[in-house]
Amino acid sequence: MIAAVSLFLIVTFSVLITKVCTIALVHTGLSEESAKFQSRSAYTGAGLSTQETENIMNHPVRRKIIYNLMLIGNAGIVTAMSSLILTFVLPESNASRLYGFLTIVLGMLFLWLAIRSSWVNKGLSRIINKMLKKYTDLEIQDYAAVLHLKDDFKIIEAEVDSDGWMCNRTLEELDLRQEGITILGVERKGAGYFGSPSGNFKMLPHDKVTIYGKAEGIESIYNRKKDHYAHIEHQKFVEKEEQRKASDQEKINASTDT
């Protein structure tokens, strides 16, 4: 019976630890789904893909989080397996084994319901965020809020097609700023990552570009081919951006007048 309760407590602490690490990884800039997957993979020792491993190893804070999680995970899994075995080996009667089995089943069911509860998730997230901010030097930052990822503004990473409108053209020639589109960075195979590239930077085939702007404009850019319609699309979104800026200016003027 004691072994069954111990097993339940170990699993509960394991879930809590992976939750803490997931939130910590999110604060380093990872998406929630990616952070959740990496935390669980590191804890269970399942391993990560090459690209995800590089994303962790190249970031000192992420690397430290995953390293500590792997150490804790090894100890947790061994302890959990030992408790599971003892639950059915130590008891001398079938009744004791049955009680232990029921304790594990009911405990896991309760834990599963708690994990799936949005109320529990929000409450835990608030508590963990406060503790991370108070007891660690981890930079707590809501990137979605900082980049204003609402009102149809998005960040998208996409690859430059060899026959696409952007291919083999400089940022100055593309003039994306006039469309309200910002190039945050470009990852080029064999050359590395170029953050906030300047106007003379030329897009090459298979470059992975991180773009910030309106979803409609970004989708239009990646659908354009090297033809006359690409120029028409560019002018259309330039006009839309001018209208948006004019509308924003009216709001600014109205707020200053009041």
At 203 the pLDDT is 95
- Tell me the pLDDT of the chain averaged across its residues: 78
What confidence tens digit (pLDDT) does each residue in 168-183 have? Answer: 999 999 999 999 999 9
Mean pLDDT of the region 150-177: 88
pLDDT at 118 over 90: no
Delineate the domains of the chain, giving CATH numbers in brackets. 2-135 (no CATH), 146-257 (3.30.70.1450)
pLDDT at 140 over 60: no
Cα 137 from Cα 135, distance rounded (Å):
7
For residue 155, what are the contacts with CB-CB under 8 A and spacing of at least 6? Answer: 147, 149, 184, 210, 211, 212
At 20 the pLDDT is 81
At 201 the pLDDT is 95
Percent of the chain scoring above 90 in pLDDT: 21
Say what the pTM is.
Answer: 0.51
Strand partners, 28: none
Mean pLDDT of the region 145-166: 80
pLDDT band at 194; cut points 50, 70, 90: very high
What confidence tens digit (pLDDT) does each residue in 90-115 have? Answer: 666 666 666 666 776 776 677 677 76
Which residue, among 30, 31, 33, has the nearest Cα to 63 in the 3D structure? Answer: 30
At 243 the pLDDT is 92
Cα 249 from Cα 89, distance rounded (Å):
75
Mean pLDDT of the region 180-189: 92
What confidence tens digit (pLDDT) does each residue in 45-87 have? Answer: 766 555 666 666 667 777 778 888 887 776 666 666 666 666 6
Mean pLDDT of the region 228-256: 88
